[in-house]
Amino acid sequence: MEIQSNRALGSALNTACSMFGDALALTGTDSALTYAMLGHEAERVSSALHTAGIIPNEPVHVHVSNHPLDIAALLGVWNAGGVVVPVHRTTPAAVAAKVLDKTRARLLIDMQASTSTSSSASVVSMIATASPPDRPLLHKAAFIIFTSGSTGTPKGVVVSHDAFYGKIQQIDSLLKFQPNENTLLVLNITFSFGLWISLLTLLRGGTLVMAEKFDPVTFLQSLVDNKINRVGMVPTMMRVLFSDPGLASKIDRVVSQNTLRQILIGGESLGHSLAATIRQRFSDTDLIDIYGLTETATCDFFSFPEDYAKYPGCIGRPSPNVGFRIVDAYDAVVPAGALGELQIRSPYLMSGYLDEPDLTTAALSDGWLKTGDLARTVSDSVVELMGRSKEIISRGGNKVTPGELEQLLCSHPDISAAMAVGLADAVLGERIHVLVVPRTGVCLEISALKKYLESRLEKFKQPDTYYLSDALPLGRTGKADRGQLKMMIQSGAIVSAAAGILASAAT
């Protein structure tokens, strides 16, 4: 079967490489690439994949950490007819193994590991021997992006070239990216927010300045030194900036330079107070609040400055070609202004969850994607979020499913039960609190438990506070109740286990 190369995103990015040639495309901590160099490195990846015997629509793991060559790896996979599975280089081995178990991939690309040699063979590693099965769901797919699963197993969201490229074009019709503009990337490109802002910058001939991590001082200095015109962020990053009075003068330097045109913010609730503070401090910069999901190719609602004064705190209006409805528990549309679940329909929805047809079916209702977010309309087309119907924790813009944490905690031989909740936090939006029930007759040390989780869980999913009890809190129905645990923590009825030993349960 002939490999179909240059599909949508790859074709568009190849065109940009030819069109903008010697212009600077990407720059990072220790390297930079022109558009021509980006195209050349992508050819090296594509050649190596062909040598490795890539088959059409084959998932390829790509190690990323906001390095310029990581983008070349994405393009090379697409040009070779493969599907990109972005995996962060710091991902714990146990988590990476779960992803590999889902994708059944046999090919891995790590461009940083190959920089010491120009050999194409060094670009690709074999991580399995058997070829993955042919899955119709992956035909014409661009990405498999993994998100937290309620059962503790990560979900692979399959996003097609047509969906992601189509959504990017609609985003640009609103944000109007321009050639020669500089975009600062502090968002990971394992997530759709980081991916679209990177690709759109390059497709329009801009320069993407890539930061491997968010550091407040370095971030503000980069805005000035690189004369940044646009940055994508999560609200937590802004809370960090404003929580340190010592950064005020550095923020003033950014403002006085007057090159920052747009702050694009999303991933978690912005909140009235933080939005007002950002608009006051960055008075000449447009703050644009964005709402979307991985399953919808992101960016389903935009709140622009002209709407903020009239509709403060709202997620704004739907982006082009995006329809929405707000429904009750039976999927019946609720009256205007009434509370219900926000559901979304558009040509840009995911193809489905990888090898999870039942989960895919459950996520949809007659073609509408169930967001799990509670919302209401405040006008014909303006929507306000009112909470979550799903118990998802949003910590620093990263989504964490309590069930995933609880399952992992209960896999510890000394723990019989666990419960995780998110509680509001001034900096991170929410912090993760876990209640642990030790097995009878054991002592459980915090340091040992933390070490156990560190090797099995991404850093942003690590609990912030631990509590000890001999049983999980129960609700009125006699079932374990997260709401009850939240009330216990907030009222002080339960105290965090701050000592070195978490528990010494009675025998």
Residue 242 has pLDDT above 50, yes or no: yes
CA distance 429 to 395: 6
Lowest mean pLDDT among 171-180, 317-326, 411-420: 411-420
CA distance 107 to 123: 10
Residue 55 has pLDDT above 90, yes or no: yes
Predicted TM-score of the model (pTM): 0.82
Compute the CA torsion angle 336, 339, 340, 343 (nearest 10 deg).
60
Residue 477 binned pLDDT confidence (cut-offs 50, 70, 90): very low
CA 157 to each of CA 88, 352, 402, 414, 456: distance values in angstroms, whole numbers, following the listed order? 16, 6, 19, 34, 21
The model's pLDDT over 3-17, given as tens digits with 9 standing for 90+, comes to: 445 589 999 999 999
Residue 32 has pLDDT above 60, yes or no: yes
* Domain segments of the chain as ranges: 9-162, 393-504
Assign 100 to helix, strand or coil.
helix
Cβ atoms 228, 260 nearer than 8 A: yes
Query: Fold for domain 9-162?
Result: Rossmann fold (3.40.50)
Residue 340 has pLDDT above 80, yes or no: yes
Residue 149 has pLDDT above 80, yes or no: no
- Residue 199 in tokens: 């690709």
Identical fold, 9-162 and 393-504: no
Residue 186 has pLDDT above 60, yes or no: yes
DSSP designation for 319: P
Which amino acid belongs to residue 80? A
How is 431-457 classified by DSSP, letter by letter? Answer: EEEEEEEEPTT-EEEHHHHHHHHHTTS
* CA end-to-end span of the chain: 65
- Tell me the pLDDT of the chain averaged across its residues: 89
Give me the CATH code for the 393-504 domain, please.
3.30.300.30
